[in-house]
Amino acid sequence: MTRRSAPSAGRAVNEGPVLPGGMTVARFLAEHWQRKPLLVRGAFPDFADPLAKDDVLALATNPDAESRLVRRDRPYWSCEHGPFEAGRLARLPRKDWTVLVQDTNHFSDRADALLSRFDFLPRARVDDLMVSFAVPGGGVGPHVDSYDVFIIQGLGRRRWQVSRQRDLDFVPGLDLRILARFEPEWDWVLEPGDMLYLPPDVAHHGTALTDSMNWSVGFRAPTDQELATGFLDHLAERACLEGRYGDPGPAPARHAGEVPEAYVRHMIAAMRKLRWDEMDVREFAGRFLSEPKPHVAFDPPARPLSRTAFETKGRAAGLVLDRRAGLLSSRGRFFLNGETVDAPRGAGPWLRRLADRRRLDAGADAPAALWDLFHEWHREGVLAPTPKGSRR
């Protein structure tokens, strides 16, 4: 096995925004993003896990959270989906398992703050902040991902082996997509605060050496098939084609089981009536990329503030989006949770700021019509005055 020195991040001074660890964002995007792995030692000095081990295991029992339990019993692997009973997790052995919980940023301000450290990439690309708690020997096996990921080491130590191999065949018949053959190119141990970036389709294998937690910032990349299917559904919702098939005065059918050519020609003509342009695609992109995951549901406040009280409190404390809400902009149009926003005149700068920062500071002098819209979002459980003592 060939072991190379891990690619590392250099320090930069006054060269624009920097990654945790010091490399400029511009250099990272030019040299590493979707190209090659990067290891950053000490990227997060004095790193503190956003959630403790017990909090992570408690989330794995929560029906509102997506969780998995991966176990290894050489040479076999198994994967179960949560929620799990607390007693079941407490009875697990001391070796060879890991619990993974998706979307921790939905449940923790500190997790959401960690995710915001990666705002140098578009929020439309972000999937979630996942946590993996593993006991010694725990992991998910050698595999590849179809997305970019930053892996931040929290509690404990974990060994990572990485390869740019082209052989990506999987072991058949397993619950997990485990690589049939894995030849590590790099091999190193991550300590608390270290960060590893991996592009798509780079083979990797993480194994816990102690009780450990990894925080994974994943960036989704839908396939063209997913985009095409979604866009066709989007067009179907808006299609309004006039006409109906008719065949007055046809000749007697010679073959009753044959599709009439006139029917086919009519279908071709009808499909040619479908039209779409750049604005249709732009609207679809905003709706598609801001759509929450299927399991996400928003909880309206039990006692929503009145319109006047909401504006008064919002101006004094500022406003903050729900952690699960998706708000995106595109060429002056805005999209919230998969829907197009009917934005009032003059609202653009405020909505863009809210989309970029996910909050508005106190004293926001937004137009009155925008406060009406904000109040609607408040009643839906999407937007609220910033709580006292919030770290966001």
pLDDT for res 388: 80
Measured between alpha carbons, how far is 95 from 12 in angstroms, rounded to an integer? Answer: 41
Measured between alpha carbons, how far is 171 from 105 in angstroms, rounded to an integer? Answer: 33
Measured between alpha carbons, how far is 325 from 381 in angstroms, rounded to an integer? Answer: 9
Signed CA dihedral, 143, 149, 153, 154: sign only: negative
Hey, what are 41's tokens?
A: 């030692």
Residue 69, phi then psi, degrees to nearest 5:
-120, 120
Per-residue pLDDT 10s for the chain (392 aa) are 444 545 555 544 456 789 998 899 999 999 999 999 999 999 999 999 999 999 999 999 999 999 999 999 877 889 999 999 999 999 999 999 999 999 999 999 999 999 999 999 999 999 999 999 999 999 999 999 999 999 999 999 999 999 999 999 998 887 789 999 999 999 999 999 999 999 999 999 999 999 999 999 999 889 999 999 999 999 998 888 889 998 888 889 899 999 999 999 999 999 999 889 999 999 999 999 999 999 899 999 999 999 999 999 999 999 999 999 999 999 999 999 999 999 999 999 999 999 999 999 998 789 999 999 999 999 999 999 999 866 55
The residue count for the chain = 392
pLDDT for res 289: 96
pLDDT for res 3: 45
Burial tier of 93 (Cβ tally within 10 Å: 0-12, 13-18, 19+):
exposed
Q: Reply yes or no: is the peptide bond before residue 75 cis, omega within 30 of 0.
A: yes
Domains, the chain, in order of start with CATH, read 25-219 (2.60.120.650), 223-241+262-276 (no CATH), 307-385 (no CATH)
